[in-house]
Amino acid sequence: MSATTTPLPKAVIFDAYGTLFDVHSVVAAAEQMFPGHGDALSQLWRQKQIEYTQLRTLADLAGARYQPFWNITLDALRYSARKLGLGLNGAGEKRLMDEYACLSAYPDAVPALRRLREMRAGAGHVGLAILSNGNPQMLDIAVKSAGMTGLFDRVLSVDAVRAYKPAPAAYALGPQAFGVAAREMVFVSSNGWDAAGAGWFGYTTFWINRAGAPAEELGVIPHGTGGGMADLLDFIETLAPPDKSPGRSRHSPGG
Amino acid sequence: MSATTTPLPKAVIFDAYGTLFDVHSVVAAAEQMFPGHGDALSQLWRQKQIEYTQLRTLADLAGARYQPFWNITLDALRYSARKLGLGLNGAGEKRLMDEYACLSAYPDAVPALRRLREMRAGAGHVGLAILSNGNPQMLDIAVKSAGMTGLFDRVLSVDAVRAYKPAPAAYALGPQAFGVAAREMVFVSSNGWDAAGAGWFGYTTFWINRAGAPAEELGVIPHGTGGGMADLLDFIETLAPPDKSPGRSRHSPGG
């Protein structure tokens, strides 16, 4: 019977921006600077940021068009302010980029990560990682300012391969880091397109649909979907039932 | 002196959707079906359509995730209607997709194409082509319904390489079709990202900024920009001054 027991995921890999860190926590500062336009600026900024990462990677997978996420984030801010007719000067740019450097974590993020670390100490070893478009320096600051220091085994940046998600080279960083197949890991993202890309690549995927958005029409369905981290924990516990079956014994602690 | 004369472009290659064909000519039908939401549906539909082409190509340049533009256009419509909370049934889908199949041409498109054909009959040979994300059947219907039959030497679809713009394989169709270097051809698009992609690839580029949008912050500037086809003709005539210099004689008719 043990051969048919659902295995624990070997690792849980999180997208960062939008999934752990609230990219729209810049709205308050943006609204203060441009009353009535804070939400529109935040939305367009995020949209252009993602678009620019994808365009640059798509135009040249060899990385010649690659720019670090920080630079692209600034480019996207400049475009968005102009598109909305907002006069954004150097000081304004700096203020909003500073906000972006220290985004708030979603309130359910740290408790869920702590819970996953506890599961790791139980039956089987569950690795925890970030796999993000953010460049290493951005991720370092964001992890620290969100109080997530020490919660991850690995913080993986696509900067290592100069290709943004959903390029396969970016998703490949997960299996490379943990030495296990993508399907044995759960990839968690609040971005529907990212969950789709990870699913295409071969991960077991969980879409945290924080915004209540419709499912993307990309012909690939996440293995799990929910509104927040509690649903993710339920999903993972379904994959890894409590250690009461003899079949669990094949998961040696730390193995 | 003849060696320094600016050469005529060997070919002018047009993006189709948004550049020759008005993708927002579906607004009237959409507005009739969903009063007050026609413009929002048209805008989001177009945005998701482009996003889906890029995601599918980015996720797998080998073409395994490729779907023809018609299918992607339908996927994008379905997502957009759900996102906006519009109840779109099968008959509504069909009506809007039928509209999309026969988009209006911009009023300045056919006259400009005719003028370019005349230039071709003069000094030097200027090839005319479409290079589009549209699949061949879509392009065939669109060209016919826009009264553009016979105006192009080639109608090139990225379907041949199963990779959407701005993938280099898509832009490479132009040089392959005409047997000349990209920089000797003018690539014309109303989509800022497409002009950027073509510029990265190496084309001489002209951005028809029909929407009065800000320039994209992608670190590449179009060689020419204007508000419509008249500006494109001016730009090309600047590249190819009237045949009054002895240097022009090196452009043999038809060569």
Report the alpha-carbon distance of residue B21 to residue B2 in Å, rounded.
39
pLDDT given at position B67: 96
Measure CB to CB from residue A166 to each of B59, B79, B200 and give the nearest one: B59
3-class SS string, chain A: CHHHCCCCCCEEEECCECCCECHHHHHHHHHHHCCCCHHHHHHHHHHHHHHHHHHHHHHCCCCCCCCCHHHHHHHHHHHHHHHCCCCCCHHHHHHHHHHHHCCCECCCHHHHHHHHHHHHHCCCCCEEEEEECCCHHHHHHHHHHCCCCCCCCEEEEHHHCCCCCCCHHHHCHHHHHHCCCHHHEEEEECCHHHHHHHHHHCCEEEEECCCCCCCCCCCCCCCEEECCHHHHHHHHHHHCCCCCCHHHHHCCCCC
CATH code of the domain containing B134: 3.40.50.1000
Nearest Cα residue in chain B from A201: B59
**Are residues A151 and A208 both part of a single domain?**
yes
Q: Look at residues A82, A56, A69 and name the one whose alpha carbon lies nearest to residue B219.
A: A56
Looking at the structure, tell me whether residues A231 and A122 fall in a common domain: yes
The reply to whether A201 touches chain B by the CB within 8 Å rule is yes
In a shared domain, residues A40 and A10: no
For residues A132 and A77, membership in a common domain is answered with no
- Does one domain contain both B54 and B130? no
Measured in angstroms, the CA of A226 and the nearest CA of chain B are apart by: 17
Q: Both tokens of residue B205?
A: 């580029």
- Calpha distance A45→B24 (Å, rounded): 24
Using the structure block, give the residue that is written with the tokens 């516990």: A237
B15 is catalytic: yes
User: Which of A51, A59, A168 lies at the smallest CB-CB distance from B197?
Assistant: A59
Of A20, A15, A73, whose CA–CA distance to A48 is shortest?
A: A73
Q: Does A98 touch chain B (CB under 8 A)?
A: no
CATH number of the domain within which B71 lies: 1.10.150.240
pLDDT by residue for chain A (255 residues), tens only, comes to 344 444 579 999 999 999 999 998 899 999 999 999 999 999 999 999 999 999 999 998 677 899 999 999 999 999 999 999 999 999 999 999 999 999 999 999 999 999 998 885 455 679 999 999 999 999 999 999 999 999 999 999 999 999 999 999 999 999 999 999 999 999 999 999 999 999 999 999 999 999 899 999 999 999 999 999 999 999 998 886 555 444 333 333 333
Contacts of A75 in chain B (CB under 8 A): 217-219
What's the pLDDT score for residue A64?
A: 85
Same domain, yes or no: B109 and B201: yes
For residue A59, tell me if it sits in a domain. yes
Domain boundary among A69, A101, A133: A101
Asked, for residue A255, whether it belongs to a domain, the answer is no
Q: How many angstroms separate the Cα of A4 from the Cα of each of A86, A120, A238, B11?
A: 59, 21, 14, 63
**Is residue A229 one of the residues assigned to a domain?**
yes
Asked which of A42, A72, A101 is the last residue of a domain, the reply is: A101
**No. of helices (H) and no. of strands (E), chain B:** 10, 6
For residues B146 and B194, state if they share a domain. Answer: yes
Q: Is B70 on the interface with A (CB under 8 A)?
A: no
Q: How many CB atoms lie within 10 A of CB B64?
A: 10
Q: Is A218 in contact with B75 (Cβ distance < 8 A)?
A: yes
Strand partners, B246: none
CA separation for the pair B243, B136 (Å, rounded): 37
Per-residue confidence (pLDDT) for residue B241, from 0 to 100: 54
Task: Specify whether A66 is located in the same domain as A139.
Answer: no
Sequence-distant (6+) residues with CB within 8 A of B132 are: B15, B16, B17, B139, B155, B156, B157, B158
In a domain, B29, yes or no: yes
CB proximity A213 to B under 8 Å: yes
Nearest-Cα distance to chain A for B83, in Å, is 6
Does A172 reach chain B within 8 Å, measured CB to CB?
no
Residue ending a domain, choose from A101, A132, A151 = A101
d(CA B172, CA B197): 11
User: Is A58 close to B56, i.e. CB distance below 8 A?
Assistant: no
pLDDT digits (tens, 9 = 90+) for B26-84: 999 999 999 999 999 999 999 999 999 999 999 986 778 999 999 999 999 999 999 99
Looking at the structure, tell me whether residues A76 and A13 fall in a common domain. Answer: no
Q: Testing the interface with A: which of B45, B55, B158 to mutate, by most A Cβ within 10 A?
A: B55
Q: Which of A55, A82, A218 sits opposite B218 (nearest CB)?
A: A55
Phi and psi, residue B148, nearest 5°: -105, 10
Shared domain check, A243 and A139:
yes
End-to-end CA distance of chain B: 21
Q: Is A55 on the interface with B (CB under 8 A)?
A: yes
d(CA B222, CA A115): 52
Q: Are B146 and B110 in contact (CB under 8 A)?
A: yes
Site of tokens 């995921």: A9
ipTM: 0.89
Domain span including residue B169 = 2-21+105-242
Unique residue bearing structure tokens 């490479």: B172
The answer to whether residue A56 neighbours chain B at the CB level (below 8 Å) is: yes
> For A197, which residue in chain B has the nearest alpha carbon?
B59
For A200, which of B51, B59, B193 is closest by C-beta distance? B59
Give the Å distances, CA to CA, from B230 to B109, B112, B113: 9, 7, 11
As for how many domains chain A has, the answer is: 2
CA of A253, closest CA in chain B: separation in Å?
35
Query: Are B84 and B51 found together in one domain?
Result: yes
Residues of A in contact with B48 (CB under 8 A): 217
CB contact under 8 A, A54 and B58: yes
Residues A8 and A50 in one domain: no
**Cβ contacts from A onto B, under 8 A:** 81
Q: Given an 8 Å threshold on Cβ–Cβ distance, is A167 in contact with B51?
A: no
Map residue B10 onto helix, strand or coil: coil
**pLDDT < 50 positions in chain B:** 1-5, 121, 244-255
Q: What is the pLDDT of residue A87?
A: 95
Residue B169 lies in a domain: yes
Q: Does B253 reside within a domain? A: no
Task: For residues B236 and B9, give the distance between their C-alpha atoms in angstroms, rounded to a whole number.
Answer: 8
Judge whether B248 lies within some domain: no
> Does residue B223 belong to any structural domain of this protein?
yes
